[in-house]
Amino acid sequence: MQIILVSHGSFSKGLYETMEMVLGPQKKLSYVGLYPKEGIDTLKENIEKEFNKAESGEEILVLTDLFYGSPFNAVVQLMNKYDIYHLTGINVPLLMEILIMRNNGKNAEEICAEAMKLAGSTVQDVRKYLEDMMEIGEEDDEECETSF
């Protein structure tokens, strides 16, 4: 399965480089960015170049940065011509999970379904998380004191 990251500016390149740091080199992972002074037609051409790198019959999963942004719209327009899967709102933890699922043999449909389940957990309110952990720690301390 070919996975293509598409974003405004160099965000997709940053995601790509981050995954290489965290998970090591990734085959069939590429990126396309939309830069100032480029139009949506140029972006679509660059995305199509990546589509054409896929083998015949190979699934393509496109991950875009922003719902209704120009990269999103370019991919949606291409969905009329290409049979692809498309998720938007990508972030580092979700991309990592997607790559792990792909490397474990899941297909694009399975990955999309699982990614939607995981999406909400990829953003955390750290202040609240730490407060909750402190409360759990206090409860554990109380249980230890009463068990003696």
Looking only at the bridges linking them, the beta strands covering 85-88 and 60-64 are parallel
The structure tokens 């990829």 sit at 122
Global pTM exceeds 0.95: no
Digit-coded pLDDT (tens) for 99-129: 999 999 999 999 999 999 999 888 889 999 9
Q: Angle, nearest 10°, between helix axes 92-103 and 108-118?
A: 150
Tens-place pLDDT, residues 69-89: 999 999 999 999 999 999 999
**Distance separating alpha carbons of residues 38 and 91, to the nearest angstrom:** 24
Residue with tokens 């955390």: 124
Please state which CATH class domain 2-146 belongs to: alpha beta
What digits encode the pLDDT tens for the residues 45-65? Answer: 999 999 999 999 999 999 999
**Strands of 29-34's sheet in order across:** 29-34, 2-8, 60-64, 85-88
Rounded Cα distance between 2 and 144, Å, is 52
